[in-house]
A and B are shown apart, each in its own frame.
Chain A
Amino acid sequence: MIRQHSVRGAAAVVGVADAVSPDGVLQGSLRALEVQVIREALESAGLSLADVDGLATCTGGMMMPSVELAEYLGVSPVWTDSTQTGGSSFEIHVEHAAAAIASGACEVVVIVYAQTPKSTFKRGGARFLGGLPSGGADIDQVPRVEWEIPYGIQLPIGAYSLAASRHMAQYGTTSEQLAQIAVSTREWATLNPNASLRGPITIEDVLASPMTASPLHKLDCCLVTDGAGAIVMTSAERARDLRQRPAYVLGAGTAHSHSMISQMPDLTVTAGRESGAKAFAAARLGPGDVDVAQLYDSFTITVLLALEDLGFCGKGEGGSFVEDGRLGPGGSFPAQTSGGGLAYTHPGMFGMFLLVEAVRQLQGSCGPRQVPGAEVAVAHGCGGVLSATSTIILGTEATL
């Protein structure tokens, strides 16, 4: 039994910003994009770089992303985090930052992310090579190169496809049910002017899209776009004096179960079962209390597994849970309200945008896609190949 050192409500997100373009392409260098979203997030809170004493980021530079970025920004943090767990990195940064703020280690934290894979690809730059190691790694540290890559699996999609195949065989989940997740997510994207894919789609459209790794179709997969985002956090006390309605961190939990897919203990159960349970326990809330969910949607199967593992439905019931369209606008379980990684943006690690959208929903600033009366939001990141999850539960002042 893990002892809970609850930091419930001790820290809050007080400013968010993202840079996303409908055509998926952003102008400017990564540093320029980072600076843009950091300044915007700070200004929305009524803070400036001079207030920042904690910094978290997980990309860029050589080995020490947060150290290198701090120098560039001209800040000297007393708290730093370069944790890299793929798509769940930023949820972990929030968890760490909340604990640091609660303990008094620092007071104003900026978490930032920028990547431009679409521009890089257009320029003919390096493409993601499916897990081949970059220079410097010892082969013993990258076992997939010895034990997976030789079989010609496409990564990451092949790994998620294996999980989907197992869920289908074990629980009778269908391609139509997975497709419904993409359909509902696209309905949200039609309400977001910055989304890359805004035309409505049907289940038939998903099933008719090319299959690259069975059983997943092209429209079961996330986008590849440029994107950037930033989050500002501070203490609950200071949050109350700032410009935005604070989104308090009520609970957080992190877990990982494996790195490569062939080492995942059970392909139908993710570490979300642990990270979610920890987050809900800390928040003293249950799945039924969530008003709006932002679940990592690298692929439709990623959402289905998160729904089950976080307890929104029973194990094996994800398919029937989603098939009435309840994840979409007007549905009883609004999820991925930005349009998600499937239709809004996906620069490689969507976890930042899950948090940005969760906070915007609690601020009530989502315009046509606003979920009325949203008081409790969950942002659930998933990195690697269903490897590392981190669950953040946020709430308004009313939930404290």
Chain B
Amino acid sequence: MSEPTRFEPPISAVSEPYWEATRERRLVLQHCDSCERTVWYPRVLCPHCGGTDLTWSDACGHGAVYAVSVQYRPGHPALADRVPYAVALVDLDDGVRVMTSVVGCAAEDVHIGQRVRPTWEELSDGRNLLMHEPEA
């Protein structure tokens, strides 16, 4: 265990497999056996059809920026020395939209429509937080 450098996500009852996979820097998402759609965020039922048979499977995590806002003040005190940083919503090619942070370029250069790929930031307990960076 190291010292946390940001507010670290708690683990909800249903998301244990997600966080376990991040220890290997793998992204897994739930898929609904009934309607075959991808489900985000982790749940005990599919919000698309109400089905309760959900299966975890590997996802690619690449996607395109849907919306972005550069934070000039930290959303949490632990991030005070990281401003400005870009918080984005990314439409994953896997079929869901996630909140993320796009790193690996100037925050002001992150733009809507930009292609991004997954990158990971290590958390203090060995889990990793999904982030994104520009493709190639």
Contact = CB atoms under 8 A, between A and B. Distances in A.
B113 interface: yes
B104 interface: no
B76 A165 contact: no
Contact of A154 (B41, B75, B98, B100): B75
B71 A143 contact: no
Contacts of B101: 151-152
Interface string A150-182: 111111001001111110010000000000000
A212 B129 contact: no
Contact of A166 (B14, B67, B87, B108): B67
Contacts of A146: 9-12, 15, 41
Contacts of A165: 67-69, 112
Given A143-B41, A152-B85, A262-B97, A158 B10 contact: no
A262 B85 contact: no
- Point out which of A146, A152, A215, A261 has the most chain B C-beta atoms below 10 A from its C-beta: A152
Interface string B50-84: 00000000000000001111111111100100100
A147 B129 CA distance: 10
A153 B9 contact: no
Contacts of B69: 153, 158, 161-162, 164-165, 213-215
Interface size class of A (residues with CB under 8 A): 20 to 34
A145 B9 contact: yes
Size class of the B contact interface (CB-based, 8 Å): 35 or more
A237 to B, nearest CB: 45
A274 interface: no
Nearest to A150: B9
Taking each of A151, A155, A212, A267, which has the highest tally of chain B beta carbons within 10 Å of its own beta carbon? A151
A158 to B, nearest CB: 5
A148 B13 CA distance: 17
B10 A139 contact: yes
Contacts of B75: 130, 149, 151-155, 158
Contact of A152 (B6, B10, B68, B112): B6
B89 interface: yes
A211 B107 CA distance: 14
Contacts of A152: 6-7, 71, 74-76, 79, 82, 85, 87, 101
A213 B76 contact: no
Contacts of B82: 152
A164 B129 CA distance: 26
B7 to A, nearest CB: 6
A30 B17 CA distance: 46
B99 interface: yes
B8 interface: yes
A210 B9 contact: no
A162 B12 contact: no
Which of B72, B82, B113 is most buried by chain A, counting CB atoms within 10 A of its CB? B72
A140 interface: yes
B71 A213 contact: yes
Contacts of A213: 69-73
Nearest to B79: A152
B113 A147 contact: no
Contacts of A149: 7, 9, 75-76
Contacts of B113: 169
Contacts of B9: 145-147, 149-150
Nearest to B18: A146
B69 to A, nearest CB: 4
A145 B41 CA distance: 12
B86 to A, nearest CB: 9
A83 B14 CA distance: 29
Contacts of B98: 147, 262
A262 B89 contact: yes
Contacts of B71: 152-154, 158, 212-213
Interface in A108-146: 130, 139-140, 143, 145-146
Contacts of A145: 9-10
A150 B108 CA distance: 20
Contact of A151 (B10, B100, B112): B100
Contacts of A162: 67-69, 87-89
Nearest to A161: B69
Q: Nearest 10 A-B pairs (CB), nearest first?
A: A161-B69, A152-B75, A169-B112, A162-B67, A262-B99, A214-B70, A166-B67, A154-B75, A152-B79, A140-B12
Given A146-B11, A152-B75, 7 more contacts: A139-B11, A147-B41, A151-B87, A154-B73, A162-B69, A214-B72, A261-B99
